[in-house]
Amino acid sequence: MTEIHINKIKLTLLTMIETIRVSSKGQIVIPEHVRKRLRIKKGSRLVLVERGNKIVLESEQAFILELEGMRAEQEKLGWLKLTFDDMGKVWANPKDEKEWAKYL
């Protein structure tokens, strides 16, 4: 007997594909089963993000959390750059380099 193996990742991706139509007013309908799974209800706020030639819809709350995470990461990188620049001034000087060269 032959066993059939199903790739769960491919199956998941295939089940997430949906074809919808755009109305003459540019409106789309998010299918009910998708709205239920993502808990999108009447009055839910979504953010439309254009990424290249793609349109991504995500909840406003998730978008704000993502922005805050990006801000925190950018702030962290900024502090690291300042630290690196300041430490570079302390460490990269000819006198110290000459002294360290004796031991390396």
What is the CATH number assigned to the segment(s) 8-101?
Answer: 2.10.260.10
Instruction: Read off the pLDDT band of 7 (50, 70, 90).
Output: low
Nearest CA to 58 among 46, 44, 43?
Answer: 46
The residue with greater pLDDT, 84 or 102, is 102
Q: Where are the domains of the chain?
A: 8-101
pLDDT of residue 83: 78
What is the tens place of the pLDDT at every residue in 21-72?
999 999 999 999 889 988 999 999 999 988 889 998 999 988 888 888 888 8
CB 47 within 8 A of CB 57: yes
The rounded distance, in Å, linking the Cα atoms of 99 and 91 is: 12
- Could you tell me the pLDDT band of residue 2, with boundaries at 50, 70 and 90? low
DSSP 14-68: HHT-------TTS-----HHHHHHTT--TT--EEEEEETTEEEEEEHHHHHHHHH
